[in-house]
Amino acid sequence: MSSGNGQAPAVEVSGLVKQFGAVRALDGLSLTIPRGIIYGLLGPNGAGKTTLIRALIGLVRPTSGSVQVMGYNVLTAGAQVRAGSGYMTQSPALYSELSVWENVDFSARIFGLTDGGKRKERISQVLQLVELDQRANTPVSNLSGGMRQRVLLACTLVHQPQLLLLDEPTVGVDPQLRYSFWRYFRTLADSGVTLIVSSHVMDEAERCDRLGLMRAGKLLAEGTAAEIRARAGTANLEDAFLQLSGITPLPASDSGGGDRIQQ
């Protein structure tokens, strides 16, 4: 697996702008993410999280600005970036006629796992990880929403990428499995894999090494969870984000009501 140019940071974005007609989805965003950490992207709906992730993998052509991933310029060396990355889309994009195994197998082949024996072994491994090894032959159309999300994660992990771009990976996944996902994310980060995870869930944000708070295509705040809390002068992350977004946090008695960022 390609580890890119030397020890360049996993992601180096500067002055990134993406204009969709009248909408400026990314508005001069600059960001550096070191290797081997879990980086959390947070922000309200429409903040530009998905657009940023797509730009990192070359699926969105920037209006202006530069994007370096693993030391490669994504515009000129996109193939290298993509070969070493795994992108889990926000919607469970799977071939519904195909079985679980066939979906993961297709991803594996596309990413160059040509050795049949090794591929089979690896597919079994990731299916065990997402606890779908018993459902390998079930057509995806017969799976529950959370199960589809798990197949998608298996497809993303199968080629052992060095950079993982996970767009809300745990949506619809039950708490127990979410817990084991995050434990596995940590194992991956410890082994040197860089993970960029978008989320709306606060307890997930707490598990990230660093966080970036996005709003209207800009990075509002960046740092560890503790740094962000300290900067906002609030006791919990949710209040910190509301504060930093310029929205007055709700009175303390109400703030335990949800674990999602309010728009």
Partner 1 sequence: MSIARTLAVTRRIINQLRHDRRTLGLIFGAPILLLGLLGYLLRSEENTSLTLAISNQDAGAGVVNAGQLLTSKLKQSVGIVVKDISGDVREAVRNGTVDAALVFSPTFSADLLAHRPVAITVLLEGSNPSQTGGAVLQLQRAVMQVVASLSASVPGGTAPPQVRINPDLIYGSLNLKPLDYFAPALIGFFAFFLIFVITCVSFLRERTQGTMERLFASPITRGEVVVGYMLGFGLFAMIQALIIVLFTTLVLQVNYTGNLFLVFLVTLLLAIGAVNLGIFLSSFARTELQAVQFIPLVIAPSFLLSGLLFPVKDMPGWLQGVSDVLPMTYANSALTDIMIRGKGLLDVLPEFGVLLLFAALMVVVASLTLRREVA
Ligand X SMILES: Nc1ncnc2c1ncn2[C@@H]1O[C@H](COP(=O)(O)OP(=O)(O)OP(=O)(O)O)[C@@H](O)[C@H]1O
5-44 residues in contact with ligand X (CB under 6 A) are 20, 23, 25, 43
93 is an interface residue for partner 1 by CB under 8 A: yes
CB neighbour class for 174 (10 Å; exposed up to 12, middle 13-18, buried from 19): exposed
Q: Are 139 and 99 in contact (CB under 8 A)?
A: yes
51 is an interface residue for ligand X by CB under 6 A: yes
Identify the helix (H) or strand (E) that includes residue 41: strand 38-42
54 vs 150, beta carbon nearer ligand X: 54
Question: Rounded to the nearest whole angstrom, what is the least distance from the CB of residue 81 to ligand X in the complex?
Answer: 19
Contact of residue 234 among Mg ion, partner 1, ligand X, none (CB under 5-8 Å per partner type): none
Query: Which of 35, 49, 119, 215: binder of ligand X (CB under 6 A)?
Result: 49
From the list 166, 161, 159, 162, the residue with the least C-alpha distance to 150 is 166
User: Distance between CA atoms of 58 and 78, rounded to whole angstroms?
Assistant: 6
The widest CA-to-CA distance across the chain, in whole angstroms, is 59
46 vs 139, beta carbon nearer ligand X: 46
59 is an interface residue for partner 1 by CB under 8 A: yes
98-137 residues in contact with partner 1 (CB under 8 A) are 107, 110-112
**Other Cβ atoms within 10 Å of 79 Cβ, number:** 11
Contact of residue 161 among ligand X, partner 1, Mg ion, none (CB under 5-8 Å per partner type): none
Binding region for ligand X (CB under 6 A): 20, 23, 25, 43, 45-51, 90
